[in-house]
Amino acid sequence: MSRMSTKPKVVIVGGGFGGIAAAQGLKNAPVDVLVLDKTNHHVFQPLLYQVATAALAPTEITYPIRSILRKQKNATVWMTEVTGVDVAAKTVATADGKAIPYDYLILACGARHSYFGRDDWEPLAPGLKTLGDALEMRRRFLVAFEEAEMCDDPALQQAWLTFVIVGGGPTGCELAGVLPELAKKALRPDFRRVDLTKTRILLIENSPCILNTFPGVLAQRAQEDLKRLGVEVKNGVKVTDIRPDGVSLSSGEEVAARTVFWAAGNKAAPVGGSLGVATDRAGRVIVGRDLSIPGHSEVFVIGDMAQATLRDSNGEPISEKLVPGVAQGAVQGGACAARNVIRRVNHHPTEAFKYHNLGDLAVLGRGAAIASLPGLKLKGYPAWLFWLFIHVLKLIGYRNRLNVLLEWAYAFFTYQRGARLITRRR
């Protein structure tokens, strides 16, 4: 942003779905836009699990933030980590000691995984929110087979071949569904001393059913598909302890497993706590009808950081239902926040954020998926093909779309994975 500019300064924190949508929504506005992110790239999070399971390379689901906003003349991008906000002084604090002033602020910092008070489990059971998380998950998954190949103790070998996934939401189900095929098809011919058909995948879900945000008939079909693919689904069971050598379950079962992945909960980025306004148990900022915070109409919070109420076409709240923490919610929230900034600049009343559910998708494995769309429910191959089409379409960059399409075609016909790199052992 030019030091000589007299235009209102809009600072956007976060280069994810919400932050990018907000920046693009201000493209033709009479404002200067500054986008802050601790990395230099946007990550297409719905395909992170494909990096974690060696199906795609990291470069195929990422795109430089500067390149996305290259043609937007009023937008500037800085790579820096935001540590807090001083709403009284209207400044954003960064890790390198800067205090960046703003006239309007849009926070879209996202969320991290929550261990529900057991943060000591994080080193033992990594979650999947960032590119770094995906690469660590890939490393642990591939190293497990290397350890099993060299192991002479049958019990220890089986522990290396046992994978526990905690959480039966979309991320947990996507991971669980792809792991059996990867182990028993892609990797099996490459190992000599270990029988990868003995690979065991357990999906642990505390609720009575996995994917409980989907209609019951689709969730039930998803559970059947996972079992068909070779996943052991345990509903109504809670993980009570995680150790380097295994996990304990509320059912009393002890599972010997050397690899545990976490997909059970989220908590908002801690920046929201510096605003001095109310937050919920997950750390999400409780926002108003226009996504601004109480007492500071110039500050907007969107995406996974916000607790926003679902509203009808008239802007009235719908019971106690909240906007779900999914990509389409962040994109729509970013666009709404941008429109409301423009309205405030022009001294017009702001609009209420009205979330429109365009549909929910979950892929479970080869030819297995479910889709809940407005007026339509799909399952099996039709849902799977629809999932493929939508995700390729939504990727940023023609190069990424082509590469992903080719990688998926190659994997479909050969069962092979092209990103099986272990860059460090521990």
Q: Report how many helices (DSSP H) and strands (DSSP E) the chain contains, helices first.
A: 10, 27
Radius of gyration of the chain (CA): 22
Cβ burial, residue 223 (10 Å; 0-12/13-18/19+) = buried
> What is the Cα–Cα distance from 160 to 151, expressed in whole angstroms?
9
Which residues pair with residue 376 across a beta bridge?
A: 373
Cβ neighbours, 10 Å, residue 16:
24
> What is the Cα–Cα distance from 232 to 240, expressed in whole angstroms?
18
> Residue 246: CB partners within 8 Å, gap ≥ 6?
159, 254, 255, 256, 257, 258
Specify whether the CB–CB gap between 22 and 334 falls below 8 A: yes
Specify whether the CB–CB gap between 233 and 292 falls below 8 A: no
Please provide the size of the chain in residues.
Answer: 426
> What is the Cα–Cα distance from 380 to 222, expressed in whole angstroms?
9
Selection from 365, 408, 372 nearest residue 225 by Cα: 365
User: Which residue in the list 174, 181, 205, 407 is annotated as catalytic?
Assistant: 174
Give the CA diameter of the chain: 73
> What is the Cα–Cα distance from 240 to 278, expressed in whole angstroms?
30
For 213, the token pair is 């945000």
For 390, the token pair is 């939508």
Burial pattern 188-215, b for ≥16 Cβ within 10 A else e, equals: beeeeebebeebbbbbbbbeebbbeebe
Catalytic residue flag (residue 122): no
Q: What Cα–Cα distance (Å) separates residue 30 from each residue in 3, 7, 157, 262, 343? A: 16, 7, 63, 44, 11
> What is the Cα–Cα distance from 283 to 315, expressed in whole angstroms?
25
| H or E element, residue 188 | none
Specify whether the CB–CB gap between 159 and 199 falls below 8 A: no
The catalytic residue positions are 174
